[in-house]
Each structure stands twice: as structure tokens, then as C-alpha cells.
Amino acid sequence: MTNSVLPTTLNGLKYIKAEDLYKCIKNGHKTTLGIKGYSKQDANSTIDIGEGEDVVIMDMRGDDYIGGHIKGCINIPYAEFRRYDSQTGDYTNIHNFIKKSIIDKNTNNVNVVFHCAMSQQRGPSAALILSRILQEKEYEELITKTNINIMVLYKGFINWQQEYGKDEDVTEGYSRFVWG
């Protein structure tokens, strides 16, 4: 079990390698032994993720979602995920995600992995938004009860499809005509 890793800056984000996420999906969206979150800024800065923890995969792609996706992912285009409802004064989609994918899981450990095509903008930005919202007062009790690790898939779906696109156990709807 790890303590929650809730980054506050892009430099604080942790990344998970495609091969480690692959192992988690093959293990029923649960972590396997030896999985780590890595820092792009500091090779020595890692988090050890406990075995058997839940893994939630968030795909932030919009129109570029066609041609395949990681099996079991939740696709919410980035613009929808971060949409602010001025009438309620709320990020409704983010709060709904927290309720359905973290609170309702009723587990002590959740790893949320964000990605987009290359995991350079939408995936990392969404990870930071979720992290910042989870650090607000209304989620204080959740954070004390649940270890939540927020990570980004290193090199995004473009790298994923090169490595695992043809593996139907971990990738759904893959089209070689889209990806080459």
C-alpha cells in the first residue's frame, strides 16, 4: 500500500510504463508485483505500488479515439472532462468520475492512469486537474481513507498501440489502417 500521490505540478507527475500497465490489464485491472510510478525529471524518484490494487485507465482522447483503445479504459474527451458548469459552479464530469471510479469502488487503493495520444498535454493536464480537485476540502476524508495514485501512461496511446495494438486481450477496436 502506498500513500496517495497527488501531484501539484507537471514536474510532480509520475508515469507508468506501457509494459507495467500491460501487466496490470492482464491481471484484471489489478496491479502486479514490482509496479512503479516514475518521474520524468528524476530517474531516482519512484513510487512503489502495492500488489492487487485497482487500476482505472482514463483515455482523454476526443476525435483521435478512433482506431483502438486500451481495454477497459474510460473515454472522456479532455474538453468534456474539464468542463466547468457555471450554473452549479462545479466540474460535474470530474466529480462524477470521482464518485463512480473511486468512491463507489469502495477500496483502499486506486491507481488512476491518464493518457492521450502522446501523453504530452491532455493526459497530464487531466491528471493535474483531478489531483487538485482531490486536494480540496470536500475530499479530505476520501484521501485519508483511500490511497490514490495518479499517473500518466508514458508516451501515450501511440506507443501503446505500437507495442500492444494487435493484442486483443489488452487493446480493443484496433485498426491497422488508422495506425499503420
Please write the tens of the pLDDT for every residue from 53-69. Answer: 999 999 999 988 988 99
Number of structural domains found in the chain: 1
> 179 in a domain, yes or no?
no
Check: CB of residue 22 under 8 Å from CB of residue 169. no
> 16 in a domain, yes or no?
yes
Please write the tens of the pLDDT for every residue from 141-180. Answer: 999 999 999 999 999 999 999 999 999 999 999 888 887 6
Q: Which amino acid is at 27?
A: N
Cα dist from 114 to 11, 16, 75, 119, whole Å:
15, 10, 10, 8
> 46 in a domain, yes or no?
yes
> 146 in a domain, yes or no?
yes
Q: Which amino acid is at 25?
A: I
Please write the tens of the pLDDT for every residue from 83-129. Answer: 988 888 888 999 999 999 999 988 999 999 999 999 999 999 999 99
Q: Could you tell me the CATH number of the domain that includes residue 46?
A: 3.40.250.10
> 15 in a domain, yes or no?
yes
> 34 in a domain, yes or no?
yes
pTM for this one?
0.94
Full residue range of the structural domain in which residue 77 is found: 10-168
Question: What's the CA gap between 131 and 9, in Å, rounded?
Answer: 10
Three cell numbers at 156?
A: 501515450
- Locate the DSSP E strands across 77-146: 109-115
